[in-house]
Amino acid sequence: MRTLKPIHIGSVKLDTPVILAPMAGVTDMPFRRLVKKFGAGMVVSEMIASQAMIRECSKTMQMIQRSDDEGISVVQLAGSDPVVMGDAAKLNVDRGANIIDINFGCPVKKIVNGNAGSSLMRDEVHAAKILDAVVKAVNVPVTLKMRLGWNSENMNAPRLAAIAEECGVKMITVHGRTRCQFYGGQANWAAIHDVKDAVKIPVIANGDINSFESAALALELSGADGLMIGRGTLGRPWFINQVIEHMVNGQPAVSPSLDVIHATMTGHLESMLAHYGDYAGLRIARKHIGWYSKGLPNSSEFRAAVNNSADIQKVRLLIDDFFHSILDKAA
Ligand SMILES: Cc1cc2nc3c(=O)[nH]c(=O)nc-3n(C[C@H](O)[C@H](O)[C@H](O)COP(=O)(O)O)c2cc1C
């Protein structure tokens, strides 16, 4: 099994290159802090719309809030106008971002129709203008996240990676699917190797890494310098740390006890309430509570009760009862 070594993202050293993927609606400050606390190498913000950033929309301002215990602060920007993206990047650096990541991967229609996200992979000239503008606008490393290409006939990730390196981009992450695949099928980790061969800067493999076996295979087939994990962390904020223990320190993976899962869910709920306020916090927390409880005994009844309650104190009690009843039955 290949082991992971520290990488340099321009001037930033990353000791353990296993990274939390940006996920809109998921990788907010409470989740990033939690995943980092468990021991992730680095965590990335949700995608921030550059236009909304420069207009300082209140929702966007909440999305870019960061905390020192997140470690290296990476803000991901989406957009299509080089000047606006450069300005948005600068604003984020002024607010403490240590790295700016650019989104060339989002497949969602609304984003693609605005000529942003994965749409930019179809226009290498315009893509280069964006990369050049952002690199020139800031004095911190700029990284790029993309897919293999628009569709299977146009897998131009290696060429675009070389263009990005030429523009001064310091790290490339590749989700091993094309835009037209959305999230279907299986990520093609071997195709990421062509990107690795095209550039000297670090390349990170992403897509469908949700077990130690898939982490090892993705690293092997892609030849990448590190891994990025998204959905594998849902309800498992400790998973990236387990991968690091396994692949960097050669330690056997320890699964968290029920007590740890209980405390993590409770702590995560409380930090979402503090971040969003009670009303929005509880509603956003429900999906995380669902992910944490998946596969545990009586979890569907528990989720239904949580989803039907708007009373925070009641939800706290439901969570405690859920875990106590599992422990009682196991005793
Ligand atoms: C709910 C959700 C939101 C996402 N939001 C973003 C985003 O804001 N920016 C981005 O580059 N990718 C986004 N992605 C894609 C992930 O970063 C990642 O590339 C993809 O999920 C594949 O990795 P995984 O199999 O480890 O989840 C999102 C994925 C999901 C499931």
For the CA of 103, the closest atom of ligand 1 is 11
Domain span including residue 319: 258-330
Q: What confidence score (pLDDT) does residue 331 get?
A: 80
Looking at the fold, whether 196 and 168 belong to one and the same domain comes out as yes
For the CA of 46, the closest atom of ligand 1 is 8
Looking at the fold, whether 123 and 186 belong to one and the same domain comes out as yes
In this prediction, residue 109 has a pLDDT band, given cuts at 50, 70 and 90, of very high
Let me know if residue 72 belongs to a domain. yes
Looking at the fold, whether 222 and 266 belong to one and the same domain comes out as no
Q: Is the pTM of this model over 0.85?
A: yes
Q: How many distinct structural domains can be found in the chain?
A: 2
Q: What confidence score (pLDDT) does residue 294 get?
A: 96
Q: Which two tokens stand for residue 289?
A: 């509570």
Let me know if residue 252 belongs to a domain. no
249 half-sphere exposure, CB direction, 13 A CA radius: 14
3-state percent helix, strand, coil for the chain, nearest multiple of 5: 50, 15, 30
Distance from C-alpha of 93 to C-alpha of 96, rounded to nearest angstrom: 5
Looking at the fold, whether 138 and 46 belong to one and the same domain comes out as yes
Looking at the fold, whether 228 and 285 belong to one and the same domain comes out as no
Of 247, 279, 294, the domain-final residue = 247
Q: Which two tokens stand for residue 238?
A: 């400790």
Does residue 1 carry a pLDDT above 80? no
Between residues 39 and 330, the one the model is more confident about: 39
Looking at the fold, whether 69 and 145 belong to one and the same domain comes out as yes
In this prediction, residue 248 has a pLDDT band, given cuts at 50, 70 and 90, of confident
Most confident of 3-7, 54-58, 144-148: 144-148
Backbone angles phi, psi at 74, to 5 degrees: -110, 125
**Residue ID of nearest Cα to ligand 1 atom 10:** 22
Of 194, 215, 247, the domain-final residue = 247
| Mean pLDDT within 8-25 | 97
Looking at the fold, whether 39 and 141 belong to one and the same domain comes out as yes
Q: Residue 313 corresponds to which amino acid? A: Q
In this prediction, residue 244 has a pLDDT band, given cuts at 50, 70 and 90, of very high
- 117 Cβ closer than 6 Å to some ligand 1 atom: no
| Mean pLDDT within 93-122 | 97
Looking at the fold, whether 135 and 81 belong to one and the same domain comes out as yes
Reported as a single tens digit per residue, the pLDDT across 124-133 is: 999 999 999 9
The alpha carbon of 287 and the centre of ligand 1 are apart by a number of angstroms equal to: 16
- 105 Cβ closer than 6 Å to some ligand 1 atom: yes
Looking at the fold, whether 49 and 160 belong to one and the same domain comes out as yes
CB atoms within 10 A of CB 297: 12
Looking at the fold, whether 102 and 205 belong to one and the same domain comes out as yes
Catalytic residue annotation: 106
Distance from C-alpha of 180 to C-alpha of 322, rounded to nearest angstrom: 41
Looking at the fold, whether 318 and 283 belong to one and the same domain comes out as yes
**Residue ID of nearest Cα to ligand 1 atom 14:** 23
Q: What confidence score (pLDDT) does residue 251 get?
A: 81
- 136 Cβ closer than 6 Å to some ligand 1 atom: no
